[in-house]
Amino acid sequence: MRIDCKGLECPQPVIHTKKALEGMAVGEWLEIEINSKIVLENVLKFINYSGYEASVDKVDENSEICIIKVQKTDGTGHTAPLSAKPSEKSNISTQNRLNSDSIDLTLAPHEEVSLEPKPQSKLTHSARKKVIYLNDDRAGNGEVGLSLLAKLLSSFALLSEHIEAVACVNNGVFVSTTRSHPALASLKELEQKGVRIISCGACLTSYKLTDKVLVGEIGNAYEIAQLLVEFDEIKL
C-alpha cells in the first residue's frame, strides 16, 4: 500500500500513517510519500514508537520527496506469511508465544488459593504523572513572567519523577529555541532528569524555528494530544 502525504500539514501525515497500518494485515508493506523534513521526522518517530522499523528512500537527488517503507509486524517484530488468512496469522502468533513461553506447571510451588477477592491497586489521580502544557514563553506578563516561568520549571525539575513531558506549543516554542531565554536551562535540566521536551513542529515551522531547537525533540499535534489524553495536564 502507498499513501501520498506530500504537502500535508501536521498532524495529518501521522494520522494517515496510523490509519493505514491499522487497516493492513501483518506482513504487508506500507510506503509513505513525503516532501518535508519535519514530516519525515514525525512519521519516523511515530513508526518507531509503534514498534515498527522503517527505511527511507529518496526519489532523486534533486527532489525533497522521500518514501518511507515500513512492514507491519505482529507487535513482537515477527511477520506472518502474506498468504495466511487473518485467523491463521493469529494462530501462528499464538503458537509462537506458546512455544517460547511454555511453563512446566508440575515444577511450580503449590500455594493455597484464596477465594477472597484481592484489592485492586489503582493509580490515584494525584499519583498520576503530569504533562506541562507550555503555551507561552512566560508565566504572566513582562519580565516578571519570564523570570517566573524559569523559576517554576526549575522547581518542576526538583519534582521530575512526577513529570512525563513538557509540551511547548504556540509561543512556548521560543523557550526551547532561544539561547538567552531564562527558562532554557530549566528545560535542559528537566530533560537530563528523563522528562521529554517536545516542541510542536507546526509551531516551529510557522515561526521559522525548525533548525533552532536547542533542547528536546520536534513533535506533532497528534503526539501531544496523546500525551494530554493519557496524563494529567499542568497548564502554564
Last residue of a domain, one of 71, 86, 115: 71
- pLDDT at position 79 is 56
Establish if 85 belongs to a structural domain: no
Same domain, 46 and 135: no
Residues ≥6 apart with Cβ < 8 Å to 210: 37, 38, 201, 204, 218
In this predicted model, what pLDDT tens digit does every residue of 90-146 receive, in sequence order? 343 434 433 444 334 344 444 444 445 445 444 455 568 999 999 999 998 888 999
In this predicted model, what pLDDT tens digit does every residue of 4-42 receive, in sequence order? 999 888 778 888 998 999 999 999 999 999 998 888 888
Burial class of residue 166 in the structure, from the number of CB atoms within 10 Å of its CB (0-12 exposed, 13-18 middle, 19+ buried): buried
Question: At 18, which CATH number?
Answer: 3.30.110.40
Return the amino acid letter for 55: S
Q: Is the pTM of this model over 0.75?
A: no
Establish if 215 belongs to a structural domain: yes
Cα–Cα distances (Å) from 187 to 120, 167, 211, 218, in that order, read 36, 11, 18, 14
In angstroms, rounded to a whole number, what is the distance separating the alpha carbons of residues 73 and 25? 9
Last residue of a domain, one of 24, 53, 71: 71
Question: How is 77-124 classified by DSSP, letter by letter?
Answer: S----TTS-HHHHHHHHHHHHHHHS---GGGSPP-PPP-SPPPPP---
Same domain, 65 and 146: no
Question: At 139, which CATH number?
Answer: 3.40.1260.10
pLDDT exceeds 50 at position 83: no
Last residue of a domain, one of 71, 87, 108: 71
Same domain, 130 and 67: no
pLDDT exceeds 70 at position 206: yes
Question: Could you tell me if residue 147 is left (phi over 0), alpha (psi between -120 and 50 degrees) or otherwise beta?
Answer: alpha
In angstroms, rounded to a whole number, what is the distance separating the alpha carbons of residues 210 and 224? 17
Establish if 113 belongs to a structural domain: no
Split into its structural domains, the chain has a count of 2
Residue 160: closest CA among 179, 132, 181: 132
Q: In this structure, is the dihedral angle defined by the CA atoms of residues 96, 99, 100 and 102, taken in order, positive or negative?
A: positive
Reported confidence tier of residue 78, pLDDT bands at 50, 70, 90: low
Same domain, 130 and 228: yes
Same domain, 146 and 227: yes
Establish if 100 belongs to a structural domain: no
Establish if 78 belongs to a structural domain: no
Chain-centroid distance of CA 109 in Å reads 41
In angstroms, rounded to a whole number, what is the distance separating the alpha carbons of residues 117 and 57? 55
Establish if 115 belongs to a structural domain: no
In angstroms, rounded to a whole number, what is the distance separating the alpha carbons of residues 35 and 64? 5
The average confidence (pLDDT) of the chain is 81
Establish if 48 belongs to a structural domain: yes
For the chain, helix (H) and strand (E) counts, in that order, are 8, 9
Question: Are 146 and 183 a contacting pair, CB within 8 Å?
Answer: yes
Q: What is the extent of the structural domain holding 213? A: 126-235
Peptide bond connecting 86 to the previous residue in cis, omega within 30 degrees of 0: no
Same domain, 132 and 220: yes
Lookup result for grid cell 499535534: 221
- pLDDT at position 213 is 96
Pairwise pLDDT comparison (123 vs 231), residue with the higher score: 231
Question: Are 80 and 27 a contacting pair, CB within 8 Å?
Answer: yes
- pLDDT at position 130 is 95
Same domain, 61 and 140: no
Establish if 181 belongs to a structural domain: yes
Reported confidence tier of residue 160, pLDDT bands at 50, 70, 90: very high
Same domain, 131 and 48: no
In angstroms, rounded to a whole number, what is the distance separating the alpha carbons of residues 159 and 163? 7
